[in-house]
Structure 1
């Protein structure tokens, strides 16, 4: 994991000062060193978190003839195998880094190299031969990559704050990005929350030359046509799935020159990855967990059970509401977006613990719920479909009661609400039938917006549906729901706001075996009823790893990772920043929300100490607080840093002839 940035400008040589400022803004992503490349058209910058080939992996990196240059954030886990193939084809290597594999793979295969990579990445390739800049992002959007275009000039970076070092780029919220956030929980690529700032769509690369800017797709999320699969044996599928997950975990644990730890949440996903690591680790496995003072959110007993089963060296971090309130501004600064949940803040504190223990890399179970149908949203959609066919009201309510055993305020405890929520008409031809209730619930925040900020009706859902593959209507309903989750909540919120950004706030790399594309291919081919068996989520995963994971974890009800929201802020005296940013004057000046609506919401939160507030009010509180924080940090008070990138620095400057680095 690193930070990358750069400029493409065929009209004027890029500035080394701007490149250095951008690198400085990304220093938290790569504190171990830095470097830049500069010629009369392109600047490439890099801040390094050294994980593979610490001595030889300095970037930007080129081939022997210096015609192809790369700056790269992430890991290519099959780089050893690719390097062997490229050597057989006559390529000569100077390092043992995965970065150099990218250089030679581009020289050998061009854009087809991205299909060959097994990894997670944001890559910039400057090909001097064709005068093209290539920006590529991994299949699922694990690593961020943003850009802004002004005429023929393009500025790109791992984070928005690096782009804002270019003071010609306007700083303003984007109406469609805000609409996405207040419907889908995050802006969906290529949109961002900022006007004029775009992000590379996962599974694509952007080709930039002096005439044009073109997006090309190299991979897409797809599922088999409904009814086309023949009978599949569940035992054979469990074996296939296990083999793919074990291999994906092995690659992510062993392909590192620094120690690799593992998150242990208490659920089956992290239990599988930690248990798999323990099977082939040659030394003690180090695991890390979050605990919560509020028992509703705490999974400590299951974490301890798994830790004792594996015998890992374990560290846990106990989180209070006060901790979350204090950390939230820092979490928003690193997330670079508003968030509708407080859950990212504890993840940022956990990555600080990981780094303080001397670890730069952790393996997590993220992605399993999307790939193997683990979320309540999948079960809810199935219950709504079943209830539409079930005339008996008592039988309907028994279905609802099975959904939320982990929730203190389950909808099943309020029958009128449950009937209203689950008895909505089901249109089997609606490709988004699974997600409409969530989107509508989230969109109930929008009436609080300032009238000038209110989006057109139906915007965000229709934009998502326009991106669905043409054959999605032939998939089974679960596959369609999985596609929506993989393209909305996963990349924009879970892998970014709650994932990459909270990890890299403390210079820690996350690795995600369940998001290996080979694991996805196996999972996508498995029939829906083996993933969601009745209401038993991730059924096939439980079968595949029943020997490694304790029965108590296999059989426990799904409990999603959550943290207290409004209660964290208002349980005791709210932090000073809350009052400062939510005064009627500041709310009016930001122009995002209606001041009176914010005032009434905050009065309710103070009156109740944030306790017992419903899901929508919690989202409203978080939306208001975090948009106000973001406006203050990156729009109202933003100042670019003085150029001070992490040392040592490697310079490859063709404009001055200054060419000093570790590859000359």
Structure 2
């Protein structure tokens, strides 16, 4: 995995990009690729690359050109099926000088143009410059595993794997977008194409851009699949189980391709346990596994991890996420995430990736994506229960299913039937809402916009982020079943912009670690979309087909255990009690007035409650993390110029083409 960056002059007769500009951009993201770096320059474009060498260790430095030097590529990612794609290209006369998937991708584009993306099974963001046509091709993988950002400034297009590389350009303005902040405090993340920063955009997953003659054209090459009932799987459940076993095994096989050792995350949950077992039983019985333990028992899954270690005999290492370590590393995580977050959950993953890298591993397989694809989240079951309740709205028994779903919420004895009816009840017309499954979450989280300053609230007057989310929905969305709608919303909004970013790519690549996700193989996603809803959630048994298909592979105590949502402590981290450090400094009335993003009196009142031994609600906990992380983001990127954690690099490879 790597980091890419570039500057393209949108009109001729401009000063060409300079080596120093590209070197500064690459230096800012050196953590993504510490092994070597390179740049390409001509009279119109500059391309920069920081390499984490995983495939084709020798001779794979980028940028890489084709045979006659008319095409040049920089690329962050993996084409897992590059071995299968190469023979066809050889037969068509393409010549290769390396054993990398990068060169396969370059020739694939040379042969097929943008249609090459449909042939790729991988995770990537890329840029290919056609020096002859003066055309730039940019693309991002189907579900957004790898990031890609861009902005326009002074008739130039700047792009990079991370925003901090764009901000090295002195003329790129640095300002927080009020609408983005509203989105984060509603959906946990920004919506499609948006970032925390004004005029800085993210290329949506499954999209490509072509830039020629100053014109930018963005198009989708893949969308989240949906199949109407008459288009779904026509076979039996056992037949579907057999097909799923073969498909997931092949997805794992492809993602084990590397010229360096590959490890695996092992959380103790169903998803990572299945991936680990498939690797250990079929490919590598000396597998190295890694996990997180927590100081706080409510968050810890170590007992299940130990069961899987004993079952598979893996060589295992664990890191302990203490409250103090979460607190100490929180600022670094916000620097790498480049956006506010409402949970501390990314920090333990940051600690975990450090453990993996300290053990000299560059690649791990993980179980992320299974919940979105196979219906594993409580929010899906919540929507099912509420739909069931709506058929008999006076029932006193049906709403009690929610207590089974959220036992940690109902620990408070005062939260009885009155709370259930007030909070979860379905009102007339709710079931027709296309965002029915997520509306409660959004409304609940959105209460924290009440902490915004008067100036920020005024800037947001008339803006409704849910209307923007509705505008992004595909045609005939309201005709889909409840689970299909909920899965789409979760994948389109939450998966790429939060889970695969703040809890995926960013904490891993902060330590130069590549994560690979077999459950997000596009073939697995398409297969799951063809399954009927009751094979995903059977009653309230989530991921039913996944559990059924792999019965016997892992212990039943792990396979059938109740799902434990991945969370990390908040109140214990910041108020139990804590030292006088950045938390007090950034949340002081003085600093809150400086940033002018939050109301100092409201924030101080909330903090007073915690500091005097009070306990906050889930929503208030999110407010604390959201406000603190926003203050940190402002500190890192607005109040100060972001500086790379490494020295200004000297590229290993410089290619300068004369006009």
The two structures have a TM-score, normalised by structure 2, of: 0.96
CA distance in 1 between counterparts of 2:646 and 2:323 reads 37
Does residue 501 in structure 1 map to residue 501 in structure 2? no
Cα offset for 1:471?
3.1
Partner secondary structure for residue 553 of structure 2:
coil
1:7 corresponding residue in structure 2 = 7
8 A contact 1:34–1:645 mirrored in 2: no
Q: Residue 93 and residue 228 in structure 1: after superposition, are their counterparts in 2 closer, same or farther (change >3 A)?
A: closer
2:377 corresponding residue in structure 1 = 375
1:612 corresponding residue in structure 2 = 615
Cα offset for 1:228?
5.0
Partner secondary structure for residue 421 of structure 1:
helix
Unaligned runs of 5+ in 1: 657-664
CA distance in 1 between counterparts of 2:296 and 2:165 reads 37
CA distance in 2 between counterparts of 1:411 and 1:93 reads 68
1:295 corresponding residue in structure 2 = 297
Which of 579, 587, 595 is the equivalent residue of 2:584?
Answer: 579
8 A contact 2:209–2:216 mirrored in 1: yes
> How big is each residue's C-alpha offset from its partner over 1:146-203, in whole Å with a ceiling of 9 and x where there is no partner?
0011253100011111000001011111122112111111112211010010000000
Which of 312, 324, 327 is the equivalent residue of 1:325?
Answer: 327
CA distance in 1 between counterparts of 2:633 and 2:232 reads 48
8 A contact 2:8–2:46 mirrored in 1: yes
Q: Residue 228 and residue 473 in structure 1: after superposition, are their counterparts in 2 closer, same or farther (change >3 A)?
A: farther
Partner secondary structure for residue 444 of structure 1:
helix
1:11-30 → structure 2 map (5 Å cutoff): 11-30=14-33
1:566 corresponding residue in structure 2 = 571
CA distance in 2 between counterparts of 1:119 and 1:461 reads 32
Which of 347, 361, 366 is the equivalent residue of 1:364?
Answer: 366
Partner secondary structure for residue 299 of structure 2:
coil
> How big is each residue's C-alpha offset from its partner over 1:287-333, in whole Å with a ceiling of 9 and x where there is no partner?
11101111110011111111111100000111111111111001101
CA distance in 2 between counterparts of 1:114 and 1:411 reads 54
Does residue 279 in structure 1 map to residue 242 in structure 2? no
1:111-510 → structure 2 map (5 Å cutoff): 111-150=114-153, 152-226=155-229, 228-229=231-232, 232-253=235-256, 255-391=257-393, 393-405=395-407, 409=411, 413-425=415-427, 427-454=430-457, 455-456=460-461, 459-510=464-515
8 A contact 1:20–1:644 mirrored in 2: no
Does residue 553 in structure 1 map to residue 558 in structure 2? yes
Cα offset for 1:411?
9.4
What is the count of residue pairs matched by the alignment? 653
Partner secondary structure for residue 158 of structure 2:
strand
Cα offset for 1:644?
4.6
CA distance in 2 between counterparts of 1:547 and 1:77 reads 28
Q: Residue 38 and residue 271 in structure 1: after superposition, are their counterparts in 2 closer, same or farther (change >3 A)?
A: same
Cα offset for 1:473?
2.6
CA distance in 2 between counterparts of 1:4 and 1:261 reads 25
CA distance in 1 between counterparts of 2:389 and 2:579 reads 43
Partner secondary structure for residue 435 of structure 1:
helix
1:535 corresponding residue in structure 2 = 540
CA distance in 1 between counterparts of 2:107 and 2:628 reads 47
2:40 corresponding residue in structure 1 = 37
CA distance in 1 between counterparts of 2:471 and 2:20 reads 41
8 A contact 1:31–1:49 mirrored in 2: yes
Cα offset for 1:424?
2.9
Q: Residue 223 and residue 169 in structure 1: after superposition, are their counterparts in 2 closer, same or farther (change >3 A)?
A: same
The two structures have a TM-score, normalised by structure 1, of: 0.95
Cα offset for 1:229?
3.8
8 A contact 2:62–2:74 mirrored in 1: yes
CA distance in 2 between counterparts of 1:591 and 1:313 reads 50
Note the aligned Cα RMSD (angstroms): 1.8
Q: Residue 459 and residue 226 in structure 1: after superposition, are their counterparts in 2 closer, same or farther (change >3 A)?
A: farther
CA distance in 1 between counterparts of 2:97 and 2:414 reads 63
> How big is each residue's C-alpha offset from its partner over 1:548-580, in whole Å with a ceiling of 9 and x where there is no partner?
121111211111110001221111224510111
Cα offset for 1:128?
1.4
8 A contact 2:27–2:647 mirrored in 1: yes
8 A contact 1:21–1:643 mirrored in 2: no
User: Which shows bigger deviation, 424-433 or 235-244?
Assistant: 424-433
